[in-house]
Amino acid sequence: MNMKIVAAVVVIAAGLMLGVVNFLESNVEYADFATAERSGRKVQVKGVWLRDQVSGFDSEKAQFTFYMKDDSDRVMKVVLEGAKPNNFELAESVVAKGRIEGNHFHATEVLTKCPSKYEGDAEAVKESL
């Protein structure tokens, strides 16, 4: 067999394998903390930031820490690698992507859902009609 053909087949196979691995890594399902603990895989947990609990940024470790309550009312400490997300104080809800490590949820990314400045007051619109 020609060496160019063998090299091309190896490169194509490696590309396909890399594509499959990247797809599986990017396919992260929603779960609560209990499901994340059982699965041990990377998941997305939706919840609310508990403003009355301790939160802050540790500059030595470059980690932002806060407490979050998931949709099943379970509270867990979330440790995010990096700085506090933009608009974190305005967030109505939070989505943390990561996995359970020990007694906390280790997040690689935190997304915030803030109230839209474009949503109007539905009651005021109804009254004006």
Q: What is the pLDDT of residues 29-48, one digit of tens each?
A: 888 899 888 888 889 999 99
CB neighbour class for 59 (10 Å; exposed up to 12, middle 13-18, buried from 19): exposed
Query: Whole domain around residue 106: which residue ranges?
Result: 29-113
Residue-wise pLDDT tens digits, 50-73: 989 988 998 888 899 999 999 999
Q: Does any domain span residue 101?
A: yes
| Cβ–Cβ under 8 Å, residues 47 and 71 | yes
**What does pTM read for this prediction?**
0.69
b/e burial code for range 77-86 (CB count within 10 A of at least 16 → b): bbbbeeebbe
Q: Does 57 map to a domain? A: yes
In a domain, 2, yes or no: no
Q: Are 105 and 36 in contact (CB under 8 A)?
A: yes
Domains held by the chain: number: 1
CATH number for position 71: 2.40.50.140
| Two tokens, residue 51 | 């403003």
Please report whether residue 128 resides in a domain: no
